[in-house]
Amino acid sequence: MLLLNRKKAQYYTIDFIVASIIILGVLSLVYSQYYISYEQDQAIYLSNLGNRCLNVLAESGKLSQTVYNEDWETLSKLIDLTLPSNVYFSFYVYKWENGNWVQIAGPLGENMPSSGEIVKTTYILSGNYTDPSPRKIELYLWE
């Protein structure tokens, strides 16, 4: 009788271990799929926001005006106004010089976090009457 009970207990234990492994595997798989797609959706959302923000400023002429006047404070304010309040940003500005991009400003805006999801969007400006050299703005966004 005792031997039979011991056997039963062993079977239950093995059952339990196998069931745990299966449940664990399925949960991990579901979580990983969900998490990756969630992260991608977030990245696409931030990327669209960044693109829209730079586009709006470029179309209004404000992007060119502030970048070529090197008025970083106004540019920061304009970007801040264009983005939702829960989205943080930082940006760099480069100048096209001798076939290379040379950084002229940045990082400006908020301090970039060392971890977490950060999305980069870029816009190239074609020049200005006072300075025909193109400029590039790299905008980093996170939540």
Partner 1 sequence: MLTVKKKAQFYTMAVAIIAIALITTSIIIVGIRNSVQNVEISEDIYFVFDNIKRETLERIELVLANLTQMNKTGVTFDYLEITRSYLDLWISCLKNEYESRGFKISLNYDPSQISYFTYWNKSISMSALKIIISIQIENEDVKIKQTVNATHVFKLYINKIERIGSTISVEVNFTKIVGNSNETSIDYAVVYVNGTRANYVGGGVYRTELVSLGPGSITIYVAASAPSGTFVEACSTQ
Site residues, partner 1 (CB under 8 A): 2, 5-6, 9, 12-13, 16-17, 20, 24, 27-28, 31-32, 35-36, 39-40, 43-44, 47-48, 51, 55, 58-59, 61, 64-65, 96, 99, 101, 115-117, 119, 122-130, 132-134, 136
Q: Which is nearer to partner 1, 61 or 85 (CB)?
A: 61
DSSP state of 143: -
CB of 79 to partner 1, least distance (A): 17
List of residues 6+ apart from 39 with CB closer than 8 A: 117
Two tokens at 1? 């009788």
| CA dist., res. 19 & res. 22, Å (int) | 5
8 CB neighbour count, 10 Å cutoff: 10
CB of 21 to partner 1, least distance (A): 8
Q: Which is nearer to partner 1, 85 or 99 (CB)?
A: 99
Two tokens at 100? 């290379």
Report how far apart, in Å, the C-alpha atoms of 6 and of each of 2, 10, 19 are. 6, 6, 20
CB of 96 to partner 1, least distance (A): 5
CB of 131 to partner 1, least distance (A): 10
Q: Which is nearer to partner 1, 22 or 81 (CB)?
A: 22
CB of 104 to partner 1, least distance (A): 15
Give me the residue label for tokens 């990983």: 32
Nearest partner of 136 among 98, 108, 78, 126, judged by Cα? 126
Q: Which is nearer to partner 1, 36 or 81 (CB)?
A: 36
